Structure 1
Amino acid sequence: MKERRTVVDGLWWGLLVLWLVSILFPVIWVFYESLKTNREFFMDVWKLPEALQWENYRNAWVKYKIGPSMLNTLYYVGVGLTLGTLLTTLNAFVLTRLEFKGRKLIWATIMFSLFLPGINALIPQYVVMRSLHLTNSLTGLTLLHVLSESVFFLMLLGGFMQSLPKELEESAFMDGASLLQVFARVIMPLSMPGIVTVAIFKFLGLYNHFLGPFIYLSDQAKYTIGVNMYQANMMMQYTADWVTLFAGVVIAMVPSVVAFMFFQRSIIEGATLGAVKG
């Protein structure tokens, strides 16, 4: 027997379709405009181009130096993702699987930090980074992100690890395993769905991170892709080469869109498992 659709179901579907359109329309419009000439863009933004201007993408790659900025982003994202995910996994393991004095106080302090806007930490962080001579450095920026733990990721991965039976660790200790071996050979493999979810969210956050690189990087040769495209946008008040800028924006979107599409199932499954088991 087929399930009957109600009026409320229809309204929800309509809202979801509107939401989908509001997300996809700007992306499609930017791609559409990137295939025009500037003359066609200024004459009519809705008119079809006479010929597809694929050379706009080559011009954007060269003019905005997207290649070097992508390499900077690759270093920032790669190192930050690897070290950050490992550190989050270690922190979640210590705070959820180990018993020690002050553990509840640490958790309470971490939870309290949820009520503090992250923007309040910008000035103290900048003062510390400047004192350590880590400003205008991709390595310094990466270390700042790695050491700035996210409460959301700790809660997600911690909730997943809390669901694992204690007997697993006890049996491993009885077999002579050390604490590090229990973490590496028992907890990490079983927590892999949650770790993958955290890693994907970290990748998207690092790749789209703008404020940190914008504040700490002053050398154009060290710009990440987000800051690079912002500077390209600032140039429009002098050049008005919008179609080339749109092409650059499309190129900048490709890695994050592809990553999300490829790992979409892992994100949903990992987040659901962490929420249900936690």
Structure 2
Amino acid sequence: MKEKHTWLDAVWRILLYFWALTIVFPLCWVLYESLKTNPEFYQDIWALPKQLNWQNYADAWTDYGFGKSLLNTLYYVGGTLIVSLFFTTINAYALTRMEFKGRNLIWGLIMLSLFLPGVNALVPQYVVMRELGLTNSIPGLILLSGLGESVFYLMLLGGFMRSLPKELEESAIMDGASLFQKFWRVIVPLSTPGIVTVAVFKFLGYYNNFMGPFIYLSDPEKYPIAVQMYSANKQMEYTADWVTLFAGVAISMVPSIIIYMLFQRLLMEGATMGAVKG
């Protein structure tokens, strides 16, 4: 049977198109502004560039440090993602697939953390990091970010794992599998869509993280992309080289776009399955 469309459907579709346009247009504007010269930018910010000036990207990569900061970001995000994803996966497994005393109490304490603003932990975290000699250190920042847990990711991945049949684990036990073997060889492969979903969300969160690196890193050579963007923006007060800054913004968007394009299908599958089955 052919689905009937009402005028309300058309209104919603127009609103969605308009919403998409508000997202895409600023990105396109940044891209063609990054290919202008500064005189063209100040003459008319809406006009297209007369000639594509790719030198802006070379200047942003070297002179404004976006190349170095991008490498720092990939190091920081990659290391943090490995550490945090392992702990999130194993914590979700323990809290949803294992029966032990105090599990509900632990869940209650974790849910209670939703009502505590994260900014309240900045001062004690900084004191601990300073005493351990981990300030101004990317590995220290990886440990701080990676060992921190988020209720949202636990609930998302836990809901996905909870939907898996218990008979799978029972079969593994009959075959002589240990607790870790059940987790690693049965649960993890079946939870791949959910794990990928959490990984993409975590990647975007760490990639755009500004407050942590800004507080704990004092050496500009160690800045990730978010802090470097802030630093370059402050330089505009003296240089007013906005087209090069736009080129840096365009460079910073590339990793996120690539990650989304590579994992789009698994991201959608994991998000919807976790929501429906959890």
Q: Place the TM-score, normalised by the shorter chain, in its bin.
A: over 0.9
Counterpart secondary structure, 1:100: coil
- 1:96 Cα offset (Å): 0.8
Task: Spell out the pairing of 1:1-278 with structure 2 (5 A cutoff).
Answer: 2-278=2-278
Aligned residues of 2:83 and 2:147 also touching (Cα < 8 A): no
Q: Distance in 2 between matches of 1:58 and 1:198?
A: 34
- Give yes or no for contact 2:34–2:56 (8 Å, CA) kept in 1: yes
- Identify the range of structure 1 (43-52 vs 154-163) with the bigger mean alpha-carbon deviation: 43-52
TM-score by length of 2: 0.97
Q: How many residues align?
A: 278
Residue identity opposite 1:277 in structure 2: K
CA distance in 2, matches of 1:120, 1:31: 38
**How much has 1:144 moved relative to structure 2?**
0.7
Alpha-carbon distance in structure 2 between the residues aligned to 1:127 and 1:232: 28
Separation in structure 2 between the aligned mates of residue 276 and residue 36 of structure 1, nearest angstrom: 48
Take 1:59 and 1:129, find their aligned partners in 2: how far apart are those partners?
A: 35
Rounded Cα–Cα distance in structure 2 between residues aligned with 1:70 and 1:46: 29
Cα distance between partner residues in 1 of 2:189 and 2:64: 42
CA contact (8 A) 2:204 2:256 kept: yes
Q: Distance in 1 between matches of 2:5 and 2:167?
A: 47
In 2, distance between residues paired with 1:231 and 1:85? 30
Q: Tell me, what secondary structure is at the counterpart of 2:9?
A: helix
CA distance, structure 2, for counterparts of residue 97 and residue 132 of structure 1 = 35
Mean CA deviation greater in 95-104 or 2-11: 2-11
Between the two proteins, what is the percent identity of the paired residues?
67
Task: Give, in angstroms, the shift of residue 141 of structure 1.
Answer: 0.6
For 2:32 and 2:92, the matched residues in 1 are separated by 45
Q: Which amino acid aligns with 1:276?
A: V
Unaligned runs of at least 5 residues, structure 1: none
The residue type equivalent to 2:106 in the other structure is I
Provide the secondary structure at the position in 1 that maps to 2:164.
coil
Partner amino acid for 2:41? F
Structure 2 counterpart of 1:150, which letter?
Answer: S
Q: Which runs of 4+ in 1 moved over 6 A?
A: none
Q: CA RMSD in A?
A: 1.2
- Counterpart residue type for residue 108 of structure 2: A
1:2, CA displacement in angstroms? 4.0
Displacement of 1:174 in angstroms is: 2.1
User: In 1, are the aligned partners of 2:196 and 2:263 still within 8 Å (CA)?
Assistant: no
Structure 2 gap ranges (5+): none
For 2:219 and 2:45, locate their aligned partners in 1 and report how far apart those are by CA, in whole Å.
Answer: 35
AA in 2 matched with 1:108: G
List per-residue Cα deviations over 1:29-84 (Å, max 9, x = no partner). Answer: 11111111100111111122221111111111111122221221111111111111
Render the CA deviation track for 1:107-138: whole Å, top value 9, x for unaligned. Answer: 01111111222222222211221221211110
Query: 3-state SS of the aligned residue for 2:101?
Result: coil
